[in-house]
Amino acid sequence: MHRMLLDLKISIRARWARLFTTVVVVVVGTLGFAGCKDKSEPAPEAGIDYYPVAVGNYWVYAVTDTTWSAATSPTSGSVPTVSNYQFKETITETFTDAAGQPAYRLVRSKKAPSETDFRADSVFVLSTSAQAVVLNRNNSRTLELIFPVRDGRLWNFNAYNNNLNDTITAETRRYSDVGQPFTTGGTGGIPAKAYPATLITNNDGTAAENSLLRRVSYQQVFAKGVGPVYRRRDYFVYYNYTDPSTGNQIYPRGYYSNAMTRRETLIDYKLR
């Protein structure tokens, strides 16, 4: 009898030991899986430092505008006209906006090649928060950046207004190449400048088009710890020509009814 009781106790202890081992293995395996998951999926970058905002900050851009004359026939292409000048964007003061939130006055000045001083051109308002950077231009508020930043993230650039080609629910701006290097300049007398960590925003959806009729695009590049370093705007409406022998519509490249581009490249800046 004593022997039977002893065997029973040993059997119960063995079962409890096996059960404990199984629980430990499951828990350790789960923790290990969670640890692997954390390593493979890092948290999105906040991104606030891609547009440093403070009174006294300024950015100077070399600007190139190109406009094309309207084509008058399929054998007479559009002629480009190029103008070069500089923009200086300076944060001059902070104030409380109508919603009771802090905002910054951004003054844009312009200087032609023949001039030595910048002259005031326009005034914008910047609002920043942990969620976004909002730009108010001509009483139209646009979402320049939203946080956190990550590749492929979409948002509504005109969330605060109803643009002709943009609705309240549209997703019309996209992030790409977050954290990647970018080099500006290198042409037209502008020295090349490399930035180690940048992000790109591009128009998307109804705010962009690349068809036989039109090409419309807008891109900004922001460098971490610097701000906007490059802007590119393209607007092309192609010449509408009907081939009299076939009746087919032809839109030859280089033949435009309306076309313009703008390139803004950062050449100098100062941050507080």
User: What does the domain layout of the chain look like in residue ranges?
Assistant: 1-42, 48-270
pLDDT in tens, 36-52: 445 555 667 899 999 99
pLDDT in tens, 180-204: 999 998 777 888 999 999 999 999 9
pLDDT in tens, 82-126: 999 999 999 999 999 888 889 999 999 999 999 999 999 999 999
Q: Is the pLDDT confidence value at 8 over 70?
A: no
Query: What is the band of 237 on the pLDDT scale with cuts at 50, 70, 90?
Result: very high
Distance of alpha carbon 220 from alpha carbon 59, whole angstroms: 14
Of the candidates 192, 182, 190, 228, the residue with the CA atom closest to the CA atom of residue 84: 190
Element at 16 (helix H, strand E): helix 2-40
Report the pLDDT value the prediction gives residue 42, as an integer from 0 to 100: 62
Q: Which residues contact 22 (CB under 8 A, 6 or more apart)?
A: none
Average pLDDT, integer, range 259-267: 97
Find tokens 């002893």 and name the residue: 6
Q: Which amino acid is at 216?
A: V
Least confident interval from 65-79, 115-129, 147-161: 65-79
Report the pLDDT value the prediction gives residue 40, as an integer from 0 to 100: 55
Report the pLDDT value the prediction gives residue 206, as an integer from 0 to 100: 86
Distance of alpha carbon 72 from alpha carbon 62, whole angstroms: 32
CA angle (216 as vertex; 171, 123 as ends), nearest 5: 80
8 A C-beta contact, residue 235 and residue 261: yes
| Bridge partners (DSSP) listed for residue 63 | 85, 264
Average pLDDT, integer, range 229-253: 85
